Amino acid sequence: MKRILLTLTVIVVGLSVIAPDASAQTGKSNNATSGIDKMKADWHKDMAEFRARSAEDRRLEELTDSLAGIQARAALKNQDFVFEASSVQFRTGAPIFVNSTTTFISVKGNRAVVQISPSNFASGPNGVGGVTVDGIISDQQIRTDSKGRITFSMNVTGIGINAQVEIYMFPGSNQANATVYPNFNSNTVWLQGEIVPYENSNVFEGSSL
């Protein structure tokens, strides 16, 4: 009987010692779960705010592109624009990134300037790393295809140039490609860039041939 009572006493004491530990661990577990839930809630909130900002940024970007495209179309039709190049490719080489202020095709009325300056280190004949030629425009045409892409073509004739120029503008923005076909050789030049109204351009025209 004494042995039974002693065993029961040990069990009761053991349970009284274990119970607080179990309670403490349960509390820790609940706190940890609460912390994880808060982290999840904060993450979802941050992601929702990020998506909202991204959507607003996209809307603003689309609006800006659309407005730039409308201005570029009007400038093309009025022959009062500048094609500012971001890259140039010659027939025998890969595209070269260029400064848009020194590599461009400008049109003002019946006068055009074609300036190709692929080098930032050599002064070149024009003093800004390349060649500048200007001439008079003839046979200019504007065509729009079924997808809204615009093609502006013209012949440019002058002392330093005799070439056909074609500019292709994409719908919804002022992004464009251009090709210069010299009539006296096969040194075709391809350019990528954007079209801006003449008065909004900040190009630097070097010395022409």
pLDDT at 10 over 50: no
Q: What distances in angstroms separate CA 36 from CA 30, 135, 180, 198, one per listed residue?
A: 10, 71, 62, 58
81 and 106 Cβ atoms separated by less than 8 Å: yes
Half-sphere exposure of 136 (CA within 13 A, CB side): 3
Burial degree of 5 (CB within 10 A; 0-12, 13-18, 19+): exposed
Q: For the chain, what is the domain count?
A: 1
Write down the mean pLDDT value for the chain: 82
Q: Which domain holds residue 128?
A: 1-209
pLDDT tens digit sequence for 154-198: 999 998 889 999 999 998 899 999 999 998 777 899 999 999 999
pTM of the model: 0.70
Give the single-character DSSP code of 206.
-
User: What CATH number did the domain enclosing 166 receive?
Assistant: 2.40.128.410
Residue 137's nearest CA partner among 117, 109, 178, 174 is: 109
| Of 102, 97, 81, 94, nearest in space to 165 by CA | 81
What per-residue confidence (pLDDT) applies to 18?
A: 45
pLDDT digits (tens, 9 = 90+) for 76-129: 999 999 999 999 999 888 999 999 999 999 999 999 999 999 876 677 788 888
